[in-house]
Chains A and B, each alone.
Chain A
Amino acid sequence: MNDIGEFALLLALATALYGVVSYVMAFRSNRVDVYMSADKTPIIVWGCVMVSSVALWKAFLVNDFSLQYVWAYSNIDLDFFYKFSSFWGGQKGSLLFWTLILTTYMMVVHVQNRKQNVRLVPIALAVMMVITLFFLVLLNFSTNPFERLPVPPEDGRGLNPLLQNYWMVIHPPTLYLGYVGFTVPFAFATAALLTKNLDDGWIRLTRKWTLVSWFFLCMGNLFGAQWAYVELGWGGYWAWDPVENAAFMPLIVATAYLHSVMIQEKKDMMKVWNMSLVLLTFVMTIFGTFITRSGLIQSVHTFDEATLGYYFLGFLGVIIAFSISMILLRLPLLKSKNELDSFLSREASFLLNNLVLLGIAFSTFWGTIFPIVSEAFRGVKITVGPPFYNQVNVPIGMVLLALIGIGPVIAWRRSSWSNLKKNFTKPVLAAVIGAAVLFPFVPLTDKSEIFTYITFILCIFVMSSMLIEFRKGTGARMEAHGESPVSALSGMVWKNKSRYGGYIVHLGVVLIFAGIAGSQSYSTDVEKQLNIGDRFQLRGYDFTYEKLLVKEQNSTKTRVIAQLGIERDGKRVWTGLPEKEFYKGQNQPVTEVDLISTLKEDVYMILADFNPDNSSATIKVYVKPMVKWMWLGGWVIAFGTMIAVWPDRLEARRRTERLKRQEQIFMPAQE
């Protein structure tokens, strides 16, 4: 099976190469026979990559340690669940996984557009094929997952214990679905530039791809934060680590694009800007991969064998040079015919939102590359830590939060001061009341706490502005159609899925902002060295260190567990079991935290150290308010996105009309 898997990768490479040439030839020579031949390649390439992937999965499941990759990331005792996810545990497999998702997306694009959009699709597929080709070259000639060991060992080295967590099964695929998804808008944007089809056709074709990719990237970031929170055992979920930043930046640029593209759809303007944002989003996804695989920057998330820096740097250089030169070349065709009606309009607020988002993306980018820049120019690697990002991004983020509340209240095209006053009165009043109510309860002793207080006030402002939007829309519909409140609300959301789905997504973002602010500023912690029976208190919780347990599990690991009795108001509410796990063949123990998680706060317990001789233990406990709000925000975002991407009959009709009017495919040659 390994031979077949390896050979299938070679076949995929050859077919992808043929696909690029034949799609371009079909387009240039305008020949159906060549197009029909080219059109077989997306399925063949996908099939070959799938065969390779199945071969690798099989090697993991049957413990085939003749493969260096399987030996390095698995062992006989590894759970089935983690054998499955070991596939993407290292660099080689993760690149194959990336290629599998990319070719799957390519096949879906191919199936979606069979015999339609023929002026754009062949070139878009050729672009996707070129990107696939790059990954296949790496897989075949530089980082082959089917590399054999001369003498197959009896057992493998095992998967990094930090990756043996269910979030690590979910987080990378989700993130990759987002990362790779942005290839589709990039391919269509490039095809539009190359073929000079620069109307908004490519935007409409890729709108849902962009939204779904954005959603996966967003959830991927949140899942990654949850993994860091429960697995790394430092009490946090986000450390502005370079690899975290690498996943964060495309999300931010794509968010800017999702907003500004609405202006192009509505007013046929900002074509250069939107084109640049789509290209930049894709560049950021490749930059993220470069960071993870270059070995230039150290992070807990980088791969052990990070050796592909030059390949990715070269690829990145080609994409950037190509994108800039194509935009410059097509500049006359990208000029807008329309202008903003007024600076007091939703379009203007979206422009401001774009600037703010790009500000966040740029500061994050600068902080990420600064160690490389400082080393190149001064010979000293200066690491940029959380204080820099917090100092720059927190104030910009607060402006962004305010804009989330302001945007929906302003009318498209033009608004007036009197209307703004009328529409902002209630949300501002709610914010003022909220500020007054919160004032006695929140500490305001330092800058961070003041920022948190302002963030809460802004959250109240945005929430009330959104809820008033829903109420007003429902009211208008009740008046117009004589409906009940429930049917008016559901009808309104159903008829304007993208608008109200978007508003729900914004509510999720507000919950995330609130969660971040609360958990960052009002966290308390204590570290105690305890003997059996010792007690301590933290924020109303009474902790008693009861015993130290040692458990052998599956001969793979030894678990050392500290048992804590937790009481509140004299009642036992939980038995805390933070632990350290010692994996066979691994030098460092892994910390497994225990957690009481409620909407109000998380009680986060870590076994920092222990002495088996006298059963003493060092316990660290954090009480972190509102962490759960962030995870809840993620689910609200998922719900909002589901509404926004739900098939819309009106939009489908408009697209069908549009396609009907497009030239028929396969015109007889004599016509």
Chain B
Amino acid sequence: MTGANFLQLILVVLILVAVGIPLFSRIPPKRLFKPLDPAEEEYKHLLVRKEEVLLAIKELEFDFKTDKISQPDFEALHHKLEEEAVGLLEKIDALEKQLKKKKKTAGAA
């Protein structure tokens, strides 16, 4: 066996050990992720939307300060975005309660 062959063999063994250890060691059985919960997914989506709407309000105010939007348009859009934000917060609250309840029930079970 030449030195190069020996080195090749070592490389193969190292790779097999590296990928094999997690498979053959006694790792307690765990899941990678929970099954998709539509309510939780919706909750995450609403949180991102909330952040986007709050950012949009800030940008709208900046656009107004820099004269890019007229007073009536600013007021109309500001109102629309505020309503959207309030609607999102209400939905987030409701979902939060629903999810907490679900967790409690699951914990009790």
Contact = CB atoms under 8 A, between A and B. Distances in A.
B69 A668 contact: no
A32 B52 contact: no
Interface residues of A, number: 64
B73 A415 contact: yes
B62 A476 contact: yes
Contacts of A87: none
A3 B7 CA distance: 10
Given A661-B47, A667-B34, A419 B12 contact: no
Contacts of A38: 19
- Report the 6 A-B pairs with minimum CB-CB distance, sorted nearest first: A36-B22, A411-B68, A476-B65, A411-B63, A32-B30, A472-B66
Contacts of A418: 70
A414 B19 contact: no
Given A4-B8, A27-B32, A411-B60, 9 more contacts: A31-B32, A33-B23, A33-B30, A37-B21, A199-B45, A266-B56, A414-B77, A416-B70, A666-B32
Interface of A: 3-4, 7-8, 11, 15, 18, 22, 26-27, 30-38, 40-41, 44, 48, 118-119, 122, 199-201, 265-266, 268, 341, 409-416, 418-419, 422-423, 469, 472-473, 475-476, 479-480, 654, 657-658, 661-663, 665-669, 671
Contacts, number: 145
Contact of A410 (B28, B48, B68): B68
A655 B23 CA distance: 32
A661 B44 contact: yes
Chain B contact surface mostly: helix
B48 A34 contact: no
A32 B27 CA distance: 9
Contacts of B69: 411, 414-416, 419
B12 A35 contact: no
Contact of A409 (B12, B19, B62, B68): B68
A231 B13 CA distance: 49
Contacts of B28: 668-669
Q: Which of under 10, 10 to 19, 20 to 34, or 35 or more describes the interface residues of B?
A: 35 or more
14 contacts: A3-B4, A7-B4, A32-B30, A32-B32, A37-B19, A37-B22, A40-B18, A44-B18, A118-B32, A413-B60, A415-B73, A419-B68, A658-B44, A671-B31
Interface in B35-52: 40, 43-45, 47-49, 51-52
Nearest to B69: A411
Nearest to B33: A118
Nearest to B43: A661
A669 B49 contact: no
Question: For A36, A268, A480, which residue has the most chain B Cβ atoms within 10 angstroms?
Answer: A36
Contacts of B70: 416, 418-419
A11 B11 contact: yes
B73 to A, nearest CB: 5
A423 B68 contact: yes
B39 to A, nearest CB: 13
Contacts of A473: 62, 66
A129 to B, nearest CB: 13
Contacts of A122: 32
A31 B31 contact: yes
A199 B44 CA distance: 10
Contacts of A31: 29, 31-32
